[in-house]
Amino acid sequence: MSTLKHKGKGPQSLTANELREGLNVWMTEDLTWSRDFKDAMTTEDPDVMERMKHRGDTDEADNLVVGVYFIDIEPETGLPARYREKFRAKGPSIDTADLVEGS
């Protein structure tokens, strides 16, 4: 969950994990959390980022999410810049769950 390799410049989104369920979430425009990266708000506006951060910290303090951090977003694609974050957004490229009957 290191933020170190994110440049923190250009478009940013805010991500975390749900505390109870553990799944990855991204902050949406109405400052709630979505498990779907497509819903993620992306911004370069420092004021908006400040509000996002405040909301993220509050939700972390309220034990809703853990490990809140900003990620760089590629302006061209709208996808996370870092390879690892792309995977967090996309989900596993293979999951045996998909082969389990009834799943």
Q: Which is nearer to other proteins, 54 or 84 (CB)?
A: 84
Q: What angle do CA 87, 93, 99 make, to 5 degrees?
A: 140
What is residue 37's DSSP assignment? G
* Exposure string over 46-56, b if 16+ CB within 10 A, otherwise e: eeebeebbebb
Does 67 bind other proteins (CB under 8 A)? Our answer is yes
Among residues 20, 29, 50, 75, the one that binds other proteins under rule CB under 8 A:
20
Q: Which is nearer to other proteins, 44 or 95 (CB)?
A: 95
Alpha helices in the chain (DSSP H): 46-61, 83-90
Does 30 bind other proteins (CB under 8 A)? Our answer is no
Among residues 9, 22, 30, 38, the one that binds other proteins under rule CB under 8 A:
22
Q: Which two tokens stand for residue 36?
A: 């779907």
Q: Which residues bind other proteins (CB under 8 A)?
A: 1, 17, 19-24, 60-63, 66-67, 81-84, 86-88, 91-97, 99-103
